[in-house]
Structure 1
């Protein structure tokens, strides 16, 4: 790989982003606000008693009209309810301004809520907004962004005037913090000034900022803000100076994934991070945003740079892998060894994955099944690296809360519609349950799903299929503690999947000591066998019609409903035997899938890379 030119080697600098300043403290702001129909009237102290929105408007007006308060409390809004401005308002300031106890309650509430955060979340999670308004977090570039906020933002994101005002005033309060955040979102700046967030590069970066934007940027500190630790700064300096991807020992690993999107991929990435850290490695994590109905609130926590010579990309090969760096706002350095950590569910890999594979140096497969599929086609070396799984806090879920009799034996299957209905095959679980039990039997089947609000046709098909007594369909997005509580409440986990790349639900149930019935096929066989679980016979069949992701001509399993029904009945009639098997299996599965063991597997491969045994 070729080392990219450092800033000092570049013959010229790309032009700065166009400034479009917005001065929220100036008298001119009233005219600007009127042009976009953004209200700026200041309520009376009495009107603050109405609601927190009126309290927010009161605070805006107070700070706009009082330069002394702005100087005394330079972070008035951004420090929130625990800040000095809030304490002043709750004490002497409130009395001086004649705010009643009710008014002060609303003031405290709005400072606690931080209304501007929603505008920031909209911006941080939208790569297109960052492209259109690269200075959207800074007053020197917010005039154009304000027009978007008061049109598309109001219409599409339902942003309120209070949220917009709060965001603008917070931006003015924390110029340095937002400058650093903008740097983390703009690959052009990262390329030009790779050491900007180190003491070595900060002064050069700020000189350029002042030269480009003059007095629009305000005062900048001489010392670099504490965005990176000293150790991270040293790692970045080594990275920029390195002539090859790997020079000496690897001190840490970069991770790119969908860290802010609740999903199996997110959880896998978090476990990869934890496994590496338990093996003694540092990590730098960058979120790759995906379209979501509910905005993540913490993306600023997941904007790590490529500080280390190895990057693991915990993403699916489609649809966002090729554009992952661009979407994440991260400059793609040339002197980095990149590893794709991919799961897949069929024996043949799609041709469109080949383009993504060209962007990495090697591929990690979570199971032997996936490794075999990858090796048959991928143009890069493939290594089998079994991941770790760890069950976290468990929220209690009672049978009474689901109207299940206490004496019933509960079977459970869980899946997400985004993982494809026909692959997950819940209808087969239902048919096996119906074949195994009659209405008078003390048995209940729970099929817990997620994503039915988006894939409503699949949800409707499933509802139509699984009607009947003692069958419960739960379609909701649960927290992981609540999902674990559902597993803990059940007596047996059943999966009649047609194929699995790994089988996360199966692994979690086994780690919790539950009997598990599952298809004897695909990735789950890395941790399931005849001794520790109940495996269902299958026939390999050809996929006869194109389905989302999985196209005709491929093959997967058709599990035997009759065999599954036999095993379900056997577990029901001999629960002690089933539980004994599960408890005997639990320590072995815990040892195999522990994050410590996974970290050592990853460490072993990374150390091979470090001594020149890369792909």
Structure 2
């Protein structure tokens, strides 16, 4: 008899971990009907995944998969996590050394984890599952007239996202008379007013924050002329893949997990600086690679020029291949094959 798998993680909300966790579980259910979940927060009353709640405490012989930071459950069998800086936190190392299986979303993360625990054979890349709504055809939420070049970004206002650099590049590159707009769909983890945070960075009226949740993110992507996410590091780059799948040209850094699906032939890639001191977490100093502002400017200008000429480079570029590569059926099957030997 196979051990029951209990998937531990965040299932509520629209942030990266929650969205990815739900997709993985839903992809596994047809192959693993006994799969149960142990959410790290209370699910909404009408959430269909409530039917999958594991009894508490979780039975001792269950195979526990932690789809979050390892410290959430330091004695699990499998860990599925990402990290965005030069190395993983020290407190993760001993936990991962004792894990039977390690999953992560990108080659960037796999290499980082392997440097820390020295067990590359037990570390496997399982990418983000692309939800079905992210396709080129469908409703469009166009926030500016057709004669305006519209850039957009979706992110949480945290230090690593360095939004001030994208804002600076936009202001420096485009004269006030040029028909351009930059929409920033952002919120802050501590509930700070992101409209004020944007105003603290710029007085440019062409840069507009969107503080509210966008109900149909795919429609927002489709209404853009280019999507931009130039950060100091990405473990994967979920919104970049979503925008690309909607057929939108994307601008991102030449560093991080996004390079598993982005290259010079399908995206506008931005040069980055070398490793430099970044944030401090729990007393540990981590390093990151900041995007070069002049390179952000150059890629923005290139995207704008292509739009102005009607060339629209990279629009609808290879979207069918992306949907096949990152489909629920394919990735769910891959996870199942990785788990079965341990059950």
Q: Deviations over 1:579-610 (max 9, x none)?
A: 45232332222222122221232233234546
Q: Secondary structure at the match of 2:18?
A: helix
The answer for the alignment partner of 1:384 in structure 2 is 125
Determine the C-alpha separation between the residues in 2 that align with 1:513 and 1:258: 29
Structure 2 residue 20 is matched with structure 1 residue 268: yes
TM-score by length of 1: 0.49
Determine the C-alpha separation between the residues in 1 that align with 2:335 and 2:243: 24
The Cα of 1:385 is off from its aligned counterpart by: 2.4
Determine the C-alpha separation between the residues in 2 that align with 1:473 and 1:451: 12
The Cα of 1:483 is off from its aligned counterpart by: 2.2
Q: Summarize the Cα distance change of 1:603–1:288 in structure 2 as closer, same or farther, 3 Å threshold.
A: closer
Alignment of 1:455-534 (within 5 A): 455-456=191-192, 460-479=196-215, 482-534=216-268
The answer for the alignment partner of 2:106 in structure 1 is 367
Alignment of 1:282-361 (within 5 A): 282-290=33-41, 296-298=44-46, 300-305=50-55, 310-318=63-71, 320-322=72-74, 338-354=77-93, 356-357=95-96, 360-361=99-100
Determine the C-alpha separation between the residues in 1 that align with 2:340 and 2:38: 25
The answer for the alignment partner of 1:425 in structure 2 is 162
Tell me if structure 2 keeps the 8 A contact 1:451–1:476.
no
Aligned length: 333
Alignment of 1:152-163 (within 5 A): none
Match of 2:298 among 566, 577, 587: 566
Determine the C-alpha separation between the residues in 1 that align with 2:188 and 2:125: 30
Determine the C-alpha separation between the residues in 2 that align with 1:493 and 1:550: 35
Match of 2:155 among 381, 395, 415: 415
Q: Secondary structure at the match of 2:314?
A: helix
Q: Secondary structure at the match of 1:574?
A: helix
Q: Summarize the Cα distance change of 1:396–1:583 in structure 2 as closer, same or farther, 3 Å threshold.
A: closer
Q: Secondary structure at the match of 2:45?
A: coil
Q: Secondary structure at the match of 2:316?
A: helix
Give the superposed CA RMSD. Answer: 3.0
Q: Summarize the Cα distance change of 1:374–1:577 in structure 2 as closer, same or farther, 3 Å threshold.
A: farther
Tell me if structure 2 keeps the 8 A contact 1:413–1:426.
no
More helix by share: 1
Which region of structure 1 is more displaced relative to structure 2, 374-383 or 348-357? 374-383
Match of 1:589 among 313, 322, 330: 322
Determine the C-alpha separation between the residues in 2 that align with 1:472 and 1:283: 46
Q: Summarize the Cα distance change of 1:260–1:363 in structure 2 as closer, same or farther, 3 Å threshold.
A: same
The Cα of 1:372 is off from its aligned counterpart by: 0.9
Structure 2 residue 342 is matched with structure 1 residue 605: no
